[in-house]
Structure formats: structure tokens, C-alpha cells
Amino acid sequence: MTVKSHGSNPGRSRRLVTTSAIAAVAALALAGCSTGAPGAGDEAPAEDTGTLTVWLDADRLDALEDVAARFKEDRGITVKLVNKDFGDIRDDFITQVPTGKGPDIIVGAHDWLGKLVQNGVVAPLELGDIAGDFQEVAVTAMSYEGQTYGLPYSVENIALVRNTDLAPEAAATFDEAIATGSGLVEAGTAEYPFLVGLDPAASDPYHLYPLQASLGAPVFGVDENGTYDAANLALGGAAGEAFAVKLAELGASGVLNTNISGDIALEEFNAGKAPYYLTGPWNLPAIKDAGIAYAVDPIPTTGDQAATPFVGVQGFYVSAQSENALAANEFLVNYLGTEEVQTALYEVGGRAPALLSSFEAAQGDADVAAFGAVGADGVPMPNVPAMDAVWADWGATQVAIINGQGDPVALWQAMVTSIESKIAG
């Protein structure tokens, strides 16, 4: 059929176009094959200068250009910065390292670590004497089963953002905050007593975790190395069930509403419709732009313990199959671990630095200081692979409890059983 229809259009020009098109496509295909082929293996023998390939996203790429140039000057090693979408880095790294064509270094989040170790794609990193120069929570987050794997560079966590026009005083307990908020709603000056972005299908256990932690129910117990022990699920028990009851209560009174997504929560807070908003520093620029007068407070407690948020740490990892391991270690520990670079990364991304000296320097920014103070008590988000099994059940159960679909305690117990059986495999 196709041949005939071409034949009915005589003339050499048409045929030429077709042939060129075919050839061009074929050429592209071959080019595709060949550009994919030469990997780190070809570049290694290059006499006295090696190449370090680093995968990072656009923001951090700009921040690292200077230090990469300096590394080249000092050490004669070219640092090739490759722009990747942050969300793709983890999975691409896991797939590509075993082929020998992966990068030497990636930027990543600390909760990827369990999965990277499980797949044997990340090499331990000895921070040596500089380990003490970082915030402790950052180094703990970059460790798995007692071994340190990454160079941390930023630390972030959520806190309670308060509209100071509506609520001039910080609340110590969650009940106080809700009472203030409900008072404002009744008075007609606010529409919501409290805002937090949730998902209709998955809730948001990350944002709700401080309320749970305050009642004394962490996710996992901690082993003697100070890292999370997947075999020791601590969600259940009386403390966890107390949280379930609390969730049901907050859902019934409309304080928590799974239809208020992250976008809606931000929009409503920016419209001045709520006194409190549980969120992270990433939403501050929008809140400032909206002209809201705000303060950043510690998260009010629901129980007798501190309402500690999860701390998220980002950092750099070295590939287990890097052929430039020495150079990669040198670059991370002695260049990226310096105050200058950590401060530059902070200035570009706005995430609080993990290095203490840079963190001190960033204290001039009141928001960084306030979020940092809340995060100082925080625990790293679990980085064990078993966490994958927790998120889905945890979120779906919270949705059911908030929407009053069953007895909260029974739902919570069913969730714990289900997660335990998934972790056990």
C-alpha cells in the first residue's frame, strides 16, 4: 500500500526526499547507538586527567560550576556536571551503575539510601575528621546500618507557619492552636482553624507525623547503631492507637480534611483564611509573595512528647563502581564539604546547609533559623527499604480514619498487621 502511494507521486525530488529521510533516520539511530556506547571505561585511561561525572538537577548544577572549575584547576580532573530531573536520578542510578555506564557521583535524598544499598550501587564514604563539622542529624541520615554513605549538604523539615495578623501568640499545644483557630472561625475572621495539605487517596503521613510522634509512636525502633531497625515496627501499640483516635476526632471536627490538597492549603493560607499552616520552607516564598505576615513556630504538641518532624537530608553519593573513586572522594570530602560550597548551595537552593559553619552563617535569615530550630529535635525520615511498605498503608488508613470510615483503633491495628506482613515479605 505504502509503496503504491509513493509510486503515484512521480518525480525525482520526491524520491530524493524519501531517501534522505530514510538515511537521516538511520544515521540518527546509529548515532544514538554510538553515543550510548562509550562510557566511563573509555575515559579512564586518559593519561593524567580523569573525568568525574556528576548527575544533578539544574539548580545545583549552577551552584557547582565554580567548584568544578576549581577542582579542574587544582587537581587536573574534569568534573562533568550532567543535568537530570531530580526525580529520575535514583532509579536511573540503580539501573545504570551495574552496566558500568553510570555516573561517579549523584545528588540525592537521604531516604533513597536504603534502596541504593540494597542494590549495591553506592559506596561507603569516609567523612573522616569533617564528620563532626556537620549537623548530627544530617550525618545520621546519610548512614545506613552503621556505615556512612553520603556527604550531606542540606537539611529541611516542616514547622508551623502562623499568620501573625490572625494569631499573634504561638500555641504550645495542638488543642490550644485549634481552640484559637476555631475561635477565629466563629468570629468570622478565618475560614479554617488549621491547614495542612493532604491527598484524598493517600493523606500525607509525612506532614502528620509530628502529631503522631508527640503521642509517642515513631515508625521504627532504633538499633544500637542509631539507625532504624525495619524489624522493629513501632507504629502500633497504645501510642499509635491514641493517634488514630486523635485523627478521627480531628477529621470529624473538620480540622483535617483530605480534600484540602497541598495546592489548596497554600492558596487558602495565602488568602489569609487560616491562622496556622503546617508546611515546609519550600512554601515560604509564595507566602511572602502573598504578603502574609507570618512567624515560624515549633509544631504544637498533641501528647506529652515533642512534636518532632521528619528531617529530610540531601547530599552526594559515590557510585560503587566508580573507576575514579579516589578522585570522587577527594571532590566530595575536600571540596563539596567546605563552607564555601555549602553556603553557595544554600544561596541557590534556599535549603538550610548541613555543614554547621554554613548553617551558623545562614542564621541571619530568620526563617532558616526558625525551621532549623524545629529540625534540630527532628529525626531523619527512615531510609530503610521497608519504608516503601509503610507509606501506602499508612496514608490510606489515615484517609479512612479522617473520613470516619470505621473504628479508628481497629483500622490502625489492621494497618500495623498489614505493614508487618509486607515487611516480613
Region 405-424 residues binding another protein, contact defined as CB under 8 A: 405-406, 411, 414, 417-418, 422-423
Task: Spell out a b/e string for 188-217, using b for 16 or more CB atoms within 10 Å of the CB, else e.
Answer: eebebbbbbbbeeeebbbbbbbbbbbbbbb
State the nearest-atom distance from the C-beta of 260 to another protein, in Å. Answer: 7
The neighbouring-strand residues paired with 83 are 56
Each residue 232-261 as x (binds another protein by CB under 8 A) or -, in order, gives -------------------------xxxxx
Q: To 10 degrees, what angle do helices 387-402 and 205-214 make?
A: 80
- Minimum distance from CB of 286 to another protein (Å)? 18
Nearest one of 379, 403, 374, 380 to 162, comparing CA atoms: 374
Residue 355: φ, ψ to 5°: -75, 130
Quick check: 76 binds another protein (CB under 8 A)?
A: yes
Among 109, 121, 171, 311, binds another protein (CB under 8 A): 121
Residue with grid cell 540503580, as numbered in its chain? 94
To another protein, the closest distance from the beta carbon of 378 in angstroms equals 25
The helix (H) or strand (E) run that includes residue 139 is helix 136-141
Select the residue interacting with another protein from 72, 75, 80, 273 (CB under 8 A).
Answer: 75
| One character per residue 192-231, x = contact with another protein (rule: CB under 8 A) | --------xxx-----------------------------
Which segment (94-102, 245-253, 270-278, 338-346) binds another protein by CB under 8 A? 94-102
CB-neighbour burial class of residue 73 (10 A; exposed 0-12, middle 13-18, buried 19+): exposed
Using CB under 8 A as the criterion, what x/- string covers residues 371-390 for binding another protein? Answer: --------------xx-xx-
| Least separation in angstroms between CB 22 and another protein | 5
- 7-66 binders of another protein (CB under 8 A): 7-8, 10, 12, 15-16, 19-20, 22-27, 29-31, 33-34, 37-39, 41-42, 47-48, 50
- Of the residues 143, 214, 358, 397, which one makes contact with another protein according to CB under 8 A: 397
Q: Which is nearer to another protein, 20 or 83 (CB)?
A: 20
Distance CA 143, CA 270 (A): 38
CB nearer to another protein: pick between 139 and 307: 139
Among 120, 132, 226, 404, binds another protein (CB under 8 A): 120
Report in angstroms how near the CB of residue 126 gets to another protein at its nearest: 5
Interface with another protein by CB under 8 A: which range of 89-97, 157-165, 168-176, 359-367? 89-97
Distance CA 282, CA 364 (A): 18
Sign of the alpha-carbon torsion through 79, 81, 87, 90: negative
- Applying CB under 8 A, does 85 fall inside the site for another protein? no
CA atoms within 13 A on the CB side of 339: 8
**Residues between 321 and 360 with contacts to another protein, criterion CB under 8 A:** 321, 323-327, 329-330, 333-334
In sequence order, which residues have a C-beta less than 8 Å from that of residue 203 and are 6 or more positions away? 258, 394, 395, 396, 398, 399, 402
4 near another protein (CB under 8 A): yes
| Residue 183 phi, psi (nearest 5) | -60, -45
Least spacing, CB of residue 279 vs another protein, in Å: 18
Question: Exposed e or buried b for every residue in 301-320, given b needs 16+ CB within 10 A?
Answer: bbbeeebbbbbbbbbbbbbb
